Structure 1
């Protein structure tokens, strides 16, 4: 008998503190996502590579870079890596941990499930992607 995965209570707590997602989507993210800890200075996403995941920052900061130029710095509650997944394209920027970070990693299948089953979450992800693409 397969066990249904449970939401990580630590992830639920941090997502509730740093995002404006409702309780149902927070629980779903904490169930399908994976908590990752990444050292400062590490490259998380490389420009012009295929997309396989998106991230929600819980603690720390990341720097978004395109062509080696710094575009933005994102902190707790920020989502990154979603543009390539939502728009089915190669990564349009690189992301480097400016400090040690903890984040929820949403693999392609998990993100697709969230987008298909929660219209509000899907609208939020599309709005973030459109805003970022418009700012570049």
Structure 2
């Protein structure tokens, strides 16, 4: 099985991507980059430019605002999409609490995918709306 085929298969387990076809998931997999991160790694800092977003495949991370933990995220969660979609500074910091395996997307990747794959754009919007609550 090719590396992108494996990643495509793993992305089928992301609940927000349930409406994407296998072909669409393959495009998403091709656009992303699989990254392994250690525990206590800062994925993004509060009030910094939004230049990336992630899909968590394994592990957990804390979402922090002004140092206080406001949420815990894990496998299947998307993070960083609000700042990218709204073209705003980050509203929170995210720090891994375990080793992570993530798919990294640049803001250009996300914008292009959202335009090319409407179901992907809807998944990002739904995630951003849920995170805004």
TM-score (norm 2): 0.90
- Which residue of the partner structure matches residue 83 of structure 2? 84
Deviation at 1:8, TM superposition (A): 1.4
CA distance in 1, matches of 2:72, 2:59: 10
Unaligned runs of 5+ in 2: none
How many residue pairs match? The answer is 129
1:52 maps to what in 2? 51
What CA RMSD, in Å, does the superposition of the two structures yield over aligned residues?
1.5
Distance in 1 of aligned mates of 2:88 and 2:94: 16
How far 1:10 moved relative to its partner? 2.4
Residue in 2 aligned with 1:9? 5
Asked if the contact 2:16–2:127 (Cα under 8 Å) also holds between the matched residues in 1, the reply is no
TM-score w.r.t. length of structure 1 = 0.88
**Which residue is 1:3 aligned to?**
none
Runs of 4 or more consecutive aligned structure 1 residues displaced over 6 Å after TM superposition: none
